[in-house]
Amino acid sequence: MTSYTDESAARTLIVRTARSLFGRGLTHGSTGNLSVRLADGSLLLTPTGSSLGTVEEAELSRTGPDGRHLDGPRPTKEAFLHAAFYRSRPGAQAVVHLHSTHAAAVSCLDGLDPANALPPLTAYYAMRVGTLPLLPYHAPGDDALEPLAERTARSHHAVLLANHGPVVAGASLEQAADAIEELEETARLHLLLRGHATRPLTPEQAAALAPASP
């Protein structure tokens, strides 16, 4: 498990990861937000209204574990989601939330299983994501979602927000980013295969690959 003891290095990592996600089309405009948990328990987050393609290290926000703003610009309006995941998952050191195209598209489909929005089409999805609960629609920034997110995060490190996008926690920022990218690729496969007979992994095969809990 990664512990972010050096705030300067953590800022560099957040910006590098943000640039990578934006540059590869995994988020757009001023959507998406990243955070890491520092060794003192405070959270370092991308600020509200920022683009992951242009955010700078000095522009990051810092909040307490309770979400209280400590310094820097105002944090993302979805900071409460990050705080909810950290409270529920003691091993999580990073959270990534994106509006990636294919995962967002899946989140708009009718008839999804709220307990698991995507089938385990590949071994890497089963390893990095596992099951993906669908949380009901709330407007962006609506903190009424916080208690539901906190309860769900106790047993799942990844969720899909209806008509919105995915949120993934990890033991490091690299792990969370890898998992959310795998989720996006599986969503793309799922949409490409609609109308075709598919053969997902069996429950036994998926369970054998289930990710360790961060």
What residues are annotated to the active site? 78, 124
The amino acid sitting at 175 is Q
Residue with structure tokens 């050191």? 93
Residue with structure tokens 């490190």? 157
Q: Name the 3-class secondary structure at 214.
A: coil
Query: Strands (DSSP E) along the chain, which ranges?
Result: 33-37, 43-45, 61-63, 69-71, 94-97, 134-135, 158-161, 165-170
In this structure, are residues 37 and 2 in contact, taking their beta carbons and an 8 Å threshold? no
Specify which residues 168 forms β-bridges with. 96, 158
In this structure, are residues 107 and 122 in contact, taking their beta carbons and an 8 Å threshold? no
Q: CA 74 to CA 8: how far, in whole Å?
A: 19
Q: What is the DSSP string of 184-209?
A: HHHHHHHHHTTTS---PPPHHHHHHH
